[in-house]
Structure 1
């Protein structure tokens, strides 16, 4: 049985929306992972920044 043009068009639109949703969800997962990494390593990152600022001040004196 042949599908109508409208059904084919609706299927293509649905496939495109699924693809966009997949891309958006992947980007969201990457950002969530990055946020978790930053939170988990906050003390380490803060220590590196503090050392950089302290060393920069000592060098400039």
Structure 2
């Protein structure tokens, strides 16, 4: 088994709705669905999408 690292992620309400619904429909645990989504993004080989204002808002939310 590979070593896994715990992450705390803030998500939007629309993401939360999907993360409540999709695992049941796909018969997958929520963390596995998130891991598969991350793998799909990483497999594309593209860098992260830059949204500077989103980071400003995120920092304000966390504080």
Structure-2-length-normalised TM-score:
0.27
Bigger proportion of residues as helix: 1
Structure whose alpha-carbon radius of gyration is higher: 1
- The structure, 1 or 2, with the larger RCO (C-alpha pairs under 8 Å, 6+ apart) is 2
Structure-1-length-normalised TM-score:
0.28
